[in-house]
Amino acid sequence: MKGYKVTPQRMAICELVLNSEDHPTAEQVYLSLKKKYPAMSLATVYQVLHLLTEMGMLQELGFSGWNARYDPNVEPHINVVCKECGKVVDYSDQSVTKTIKEMLRGLDFEPKGVRIDVYKICEGCRSRMNG
């Protein structure tokens, strides 16, 4: 991490978020690591997440009404988002990746990121609503 001292806290943040499949918020990362690193601040978490985003290793997913989520999958894919709880799940297969890459090839510039969101109500929220 250029210009930043590599600390155990920063390494733990990187490891947690880059290996995550559940698109955590900064607060979730902070709470997951706070017990092991009590001196770590939420500001440090945000700093590392923004650095990883700038480096192209994370994609920041902002949603209206929810805190930003962080996705380590920076390859073309679809984010399936629950409109009730905000849970985000990646959907990708070869046809999706191929289609997105073909769409981008027609542009006369190099995109700095791609984001496709599909919204639904997840199983958990549906059963709570019907329960």
Read off the pLDDT of each residue in 45-70 and give the average, rounded to a whole number: 93
Tokens of 75: 């390859």
CA 95 to chain centre: 22
Supply the pTM of this predicted model. 0.84
d(CA 25, CA 16): 12
CATH of the domain at 52: 1.10.10.10
pLDDT of residue 4: 72
The reply to whether 91 and 49 lie within a common domain is: no
Task: Report the domain count for the chain.
Answer: 2
Read off the pLDDT of each residue in 66-92 and give the average, rounded to a whole number: 92
The reply to whether 87 and 110 lie within a common domain is: yes
Does residue 2 register a pLDDT over 70?
no
Listing DSSP states for 12-39 in one string gives HHHHHHHT-SS---HHHHHHHHHTT-TT
| 3-state SS, residue 90 | strand
